[in-house]
Amino acid sequence: MVVRAKKSKRTTSPVPEDPFQPASSTYVRAKDGNPLPTKIEIELAKRAARPSSPSVLPGVRPIPKELSESLRDQLVPGKYYAKSMTQYLGPFDNEPTAEELPSGDTYFILQNMGRFGETGKCIFRHVKQIDVPTREFPPPRPISPSELPGVRSLNDELDPDVKENLVPGQYYAKSMNRYLGPFDSIPSTDVLPSGDSYVILQEMGRLPNGSMIFRRVTQIDR
């Protein structure tokens, strides 16, 4: 008697000899160095597509329908909790909102309804699911030109004659590390190097010692 082993149906994507050569249409080539998703990431991806049952959460399991019906008269609504794959928040006196929960996660809002007499485990009611997107960082604070190196405020140092002779001129972009210009008009974000905040200054004239007089126009964050 001969037992034939089943052939595995799993196949691997062939590695092209030329890294710029497209893979066969039968396969989808993964990006080099792209790590395999973790179990939690897979669950989060599924829940992002559609609402899931709280039973996907660690330590949570559904109650059989028969047992649930027998406990119905003993259940008393209590405090609220927010549970995700990695966080367990609460108790809350009232149903928590998205503003009260940390960003970048999906939460099941559960309400404590009592405990099992034998085991003492909590019984929860699934209220709803809240997706809290990752919040953007607050915009950089406005920079005063006097904070920039080599720039100081004139206050009331200008003579009336000098003030009358101020003439709007070319523009400059100055940050803590860069001094760019002159520009014939206010520079756009495409002209300025990224990763910095620039105070846009316009030349208005010069002091008797030759120092330039600027007025602050705006701030551009790159």
* Digit-coded pLDDT (tens) for 129-139: 998 887 665 55
Print burial letters for 93-126: b (CB count within 10 Å at least 16), e (below 16).
eeebeeeebeeebbbbbbbbbeeeeeeeeebbee
Listed range (31-40, 67-76, 146-155, 171-180) with the worst mean pLDDT: 31-40
**Is the pTM of the predicted complex or chain greater than 0.85?**
no
**Which residues partner with 128 through β-bridges?**
109
* Digit-coded pLDDT (tens) for 133-167: 876 655 567 777 878 888 887 766 777 777 777 88
